[in-house]
Homo-oligomer: A and B are copies of this chain.
Amino acid sequence: MKKRSSEDIVLEIKDKSELMVDLAYSSLIYNNKIIAKEVYDLEDLIDNLFQKIQKDTLEGVRNGKLSVDSALTLMRLAQAGEEIADAAQEIADVELRDVELHPILKQSVRESDEVLTKIQVKEKSILCGKTLGNLKLGSETGMMIIAIRHKDKWLYGPNKNTRIDEDDILFAKGPEDGEKHLIELAQGMSNDI
């Protein structure tokens, strides 16, 4: 197996830590302990990646492949991502501690700059049987899918090859009018995509 570059790992820490923050707030808004626990699992993954970056950059400096400045930058970015992941875990912790979020706070978090939403896909929806790569929901509706529940299986941070099926539950974030568009598509009330 080809060794992954430090840049790849820093990027994975960046993307995963930001996904964790979205998942953590979603777990709070929808009282969803399964998502909150996933944030915990992702935090373990981030810790491992962070340790790997530290080791790789030190080795890179020792064998002359990496300047001290480059190594510092990589470590610093990885550390910032790790701190964001920690913060996401603290948010998920609020859900796991079983404290009911005040309805006003829940509503306002749901409606912050980017709305977090949960939508079930109906049988007659145009989304059924299509992959995220086909659908381009991000540019068509402004909504980014952060997790999908397919029967009892959960998928976090889906990719282009992820297929949407009937009855799937989509967790997504994006602008308010994007939410409306995605709801209409998922309910089969619009095929405008």
A144–B80 CB distance below 8 A:
no
A101 within 8 A of B: yes
Chain A facing B: main interface SS: helix
A41 within 8 A of B: no
Asked whether A73 and B102 contact (CB < 8 A) given A18-B113, A19-B113, A139-B177, the answer is: yes
Q: Interface size on A (CB < 8 Å)?
A: 53
CB-CB nearest 10 A-B residue pairs: A138-B175, A139-B178, A139-B142, A83-B87, A80-B87, A139-B177, A138-B142, A80-B90, A7-B105, A15-B113
A114–B144 CB distance below 8 A:
yes
4 more contacts with CB within 8 A, not counting A77-B105, A81-B87, are A77-B91, A84-B84, A114-B144, A139-B181
A112–B175 CB distance below 8 A:
no
Complex-state Cα separation, A128 to B80, whole angstroms: 37
B139–A15 CB distance below 8 A:
no
A134 within 8 A of B: no
Residues from chain B with a CB closer than 8 A to the CB of A136 are 175, 177
A1 within 8 A of B: no
List residues 1-18 of chain A with CB under 8 A from any CB of chain B. 5, 7-8, 10-11, 14-15, 18
Asked whether A76 and B105 contact (CB < 8 A) given A83-B83, A87-B83, A138-B177, the answer is: no
CB-based nearest B residue for A181: B139
A141 within 8 A of B: yes
A21 within 8 A of B: yes
A11–B109 CB distance below 8 A:
yes
